[in-house]
Amino acid sequence: MGISYNQEARVFRLDTPGSTYLISLVDEMGFVCHAYYGRKIPDDNMNYLLRVNPQFLPFRESGQQTNVLDELPLEYPCHGLGDFRESCLRVETEEGHRVCGLTYLSHKIYGGKPALPGLPATHGGQEDCATLELRCRDEALGLEVSLLYTAFENLDVICRSARIENCGDRPLRLTAALSACLDMDNRSFDLITLHGSWAYERMINRRPLSWGKQGVSSRRGISSHQEQPFLALAERDANQSHGQVYAMHFVYSGNFIAQAEMRQQELVRVVMGIDTESFGWKLGPGESFQTPEAVLAYSSTGLDGMTHALHDLYRRHLTRGPWRDKPRPSLVNNWEATYFDFDSDKLLDIARTAAGRGIEMLVLDDGWFGCRNTDDNSLGDWFVNEKKLPGGLKRLADEINKLGMKFGLWVEPEMVSPDSELFRAHPDYALQIPGRSPMLSRTQLVLDLSREEVRRCVYDQLHKVLSSANIEYVKWDMNRSLTDVAGFCLEADRQGELFHRYVLGVYDLQERLLHDFPDLLLENCASGGGRFDPGMLYYSPQIWTSDNTDAIDRLRIQEGTALIYPLSTMGAHVAACPSHTNGRVTPFETRGLVSLPGCFGYELDLTKLTGEELDMIPGQLENYRKYGPVFHGGDYYRLASYGENQEYDALMAVSKDKRVAVVDYVHVMSRQQRRSVLLALRGLDEEKRYRSSESGEIRSGAGWMYGGLLLPTMKGDFLGKLIVLEEV
Ligand code: DGJ
């Protein structure tokens, strides 16, 4: 078991294959201190790192109590007693007092990992992980907090969350309930975050950690296009394959804060959790609040180590269901092909062309329901528009099935259009404040999914639709941020709970869906990648990466996404050209190469392709069939970044048994008289011998890695090549 307690030293020890995490109980008060996190060490007692001046202990008798608390590295800091840095837990009493401090009460260590009720979370059995529950208490408040830590046996990952219980007899109000804190000394850290905007998600940003507070957050009700609930501290000289990296990633899909703070003595505090500004939670006597989970990953082998730990964790211990490990079907989606302008005949034309080339599924996107021919009506009216689809979804799905293809469907269950039967019947179902007209976005409002009757109304409709035909895939969309966040049914002192209750409502709906349709392949989406987070991955093994389908823009978007998410989670389609996003013209082949590593599909009118383009499809699908499993299940390496060099892009995946490696190279901008590009490969077995599909040359893994792979010289822009190395 990777967790133990040294009673003499009063130290909890959490071990993963390459890291050690030590928690120390300090003073007879039992402060729960963070003693060490980093490369694996045999020592238990590392208390010298805490730098507590012995003269200041015992704490109660010390005249310097605030000096102790303000510099003590703590596991779950509170507020108002002398630690003036960011706190994880903030509590207000009925009298309005705002002070809280936790000390050790008891603990439990056991194999496996408990589920977090109503929340997405990583999972693992006795053989995969061990859990420590550290119970702490604030005597004066009658408040108890269980800090949960799970250490994974085969991954350098520790997952944390907190359960907060009001054990007193008077109500308390939580004004902050974060999930994790990491106190450390600065070691010339860089801060890495992913920022973006609609159609330009997850751009990698790396800058030196500086004084004060810095970080990212969302208050949009979704994790957002703009910020990712992730941050990493990397030693300044850390690169892809060298140096120490500490990452935190939040398994949650709503408002969040991810913040690093550097203060006096270069003390660094990293915190992650539900955003505090938009949060409040009333905790009655006997009630408890479970925070979502934060994932901590440690790497001593640079960004590769962090990426691999997160990829493996999400593939094995976060995603669930029959589609987790199965090859995902190639598909054609009609959105960029037709937008709202389609009928059964048009869809069947596309399907016939697709089936003839071997595409496995047709996905019917927005516009099949109510009277929706534009985006300003009908959300909430989940019944089929028979004018467009005579005979309903059943007839269409049957026809598509007859072609040997699966049928998938788009829905947007969280929304309501003011121009809809649902809104006319139940205007109070939408989030809004009486006396204030709610803000529209894409002419739609957000349903108050914190209410069970609203969820039931939407779910019953969905259930009926999905039972009406052979629908094997659902794309669950969500196309606006939350505003006017007020609930008709919540008391005034609980309105601050609504953002979180909304997210719990979304989770509840998706859980019901998976329960009732266990074989369904669910893909999440939020105007592209507006809710691409580990929380959603618990429900759907894949997410639509971005509404930006231009192959060249996608290079950077997918690079940032793949830094922390497995390629098997990224929806990636060969889209129409000139690009509907930016008008760029790129070769069909290159669009295929850029989409290949993800969940591969087409998003254009296949009936309008040239014969030459149509002829390329079977080859692209064959590559997806052969190498999709290597991209999706193997180890990913970023070899070159177009975002950095402005010239070319290259990624590589190596199968877990190291017998096959695939290099996906895109030559973006030609440069005059460039010598051929040399790529130092990674992740191969030094001893094995591999043949290159490009040159036919056979070389050792060591040769390909330390000598490198010479790429073919290419004339022209936006070209590319797939190179496969297979063991001989
Ligand atoms: C936003 C999605 O990202 C698109 O792929 C498409 O489904 C539209 N919504 C439909 O309204």
pLDDT of 570 higher than 80: yes
Task: Using pLDDT thresholds of 50, 70 and 90, give the confidence band for residue 346.
Answer: very high
* Residue among 417, 547, 602, 604 whose CB has most ligand 1 atoms within 8 A, to mutate: 547
pLDDT attached to residue 70: 92
Residue with the larger pLDDT of the pair 434 and 457: 457
Reported as a single tens digit per residue, the pLDDT across 526-537 is 999 999 999 999
Residues, the chain: 728
Residue 713 clears pLDDT 90, i.e. is over it = no
Nearest CA residue ID for atom 10, ligand 1: 366
Q: Is 547 tagged catalytic?
A: yes
What would the mean pLDDT of 298-317 be, rounded to a whole number? 98
**At 471, is the pLDDT very low, low, confident or very high (cuts 50, 70, 90)?**
very high
506-546 pLDDT, tens digit each: 999 999 999 999 999 999 999 999 999 999 999 999 999 99
Known catalytic residue at 685:
no
Provide mean pLDDT across the span 572-591: 97
What does the pLDDT average to over 104-109? 98
The residue whose CA has the least distance to atom 11 of ligand 1 is 366
Rounded to whole angstroms, the Cα distance separating 574 from 581 reads: 13
Residues with CB under 6 A from ligand 1: 335, 365-366, 410, 477, 479, 525, 527-528, 544, 547
- How deeply is 84 buried, as exposed, middle or buried, from its count of CB atoms within 10 A (0-12, 13-18, 19+)? middle
List pLDDT tens digits, range 237-282: 999 999 999 999 999 999 999 999 999 999 999 999 999 999 999 9
User: Can you give the pLDDT at residue 593?
Assistant: 98
Quick check: 590 pLDDT over 90? yes
Q: What's the pLDDT tens digit per position in 110-164? A: 999 999 999 999 999 999 999 999 999 999 999 999 999 999 999 999 999 999 9
**Cα–Cα distance measured from residue 303 to residue 233, given in angstroms and rounded to the nearest whole number:** 10
The burial class, CB within 10 Å (0-12 / 13-18 / 19+), for 25 is: buried
Residue 546 CA, ligand 1 centroid: distance in Å: 9
How many whole angstroms from 520 Cα to the centroid of ligand 1?
A: 20
Q: Average pLDDT, stretch 344-365?
A: 98
Q: Of these residues, 533, 547, 649, 664, which one is catalytic?
A: 547
Query: What's residue 189's pLDDT?
Result: 98
* pLDDT (0 to 100) of residue 675: 84
Substitution site in 225, 339, 365 for ligand 1 pocket (most atoms within 8 Å of beta carbon): 365
**Each residue's pLDDT tens digit, 677-709:** 999 999 999 999 999 999 999 999 999 999 999
Q: Mean pLDDT for the chain?
A: 97
Atom of ligand 1 nearest to the CA of 603: 5
CA of 335 to the centre of ligand 1 (A): 7
From the CA of 528, how far away is ligand 1's center (Å)? 7
Taking the centre of ligand 1 as the mean of its atom positions, its distance from the CA of residue 544, in whole angstroms, is 9
Inter-residue contact 570 to 286 (CB < 8 Å): no
For ligand 1, atom 1, name the residue with the nearest CA. 527
**Is this prediction's pTM over 0.95?**
yes
Phi, psi of 570 (to 5 degrees): -100, 110
Q: Give pLDDT, residue 55.
A: 86
Distance separating alpha carbons of residues 529 and 543, to the nearest angstrom: 7
Task: Give, using CA atoms, the residue closest to atom 9 of ligand 1.
Answer: 527
pLDDT at 82: 94
Provide mean pLDDT across the span 475-485.
98
Per-residue pLDDT, averaged over 337-360, amounts to 98
**Over 90: is that where the pLDDT of 489 sits?**
no
How many other CB atoms sit within 10 Å of the CB of residue 203? Answer: 16
pLDDT of residue 712: 87
Pocket test for ligand 1, best of 198, 200, 366 (most atoms within 8 A of CB): 366
Counting from 1 in the atom list of ligand 1, the atom nearest the Cα of 528 is 3
Handedness of CA 427, 429, 434, 440 (dihedral sign): negative
pLDDT digits (tens, 9 = 90+) for 600-633: 999 999 999 999 999 999 999 999 999 999 999 9
pLDDT band at 83 (very low <50, low <70, confident <90, very high): very high
Q: What is the DSSP string of 155-170?
A: SSEEEEEEEEEE-SSS
Which residue is catalytic, options 15, 275, 365, 477?
A: 477
Query: How far, in Å, is the centroid of ligand 1 from the Cα of 548?
Result: 11
| pLDDT for 467 | 98
pLDDT of amino acid 53 = 85
**At 607, which amino acid appears?**
T
The whole-number pLDDT of residue 161 equals 98
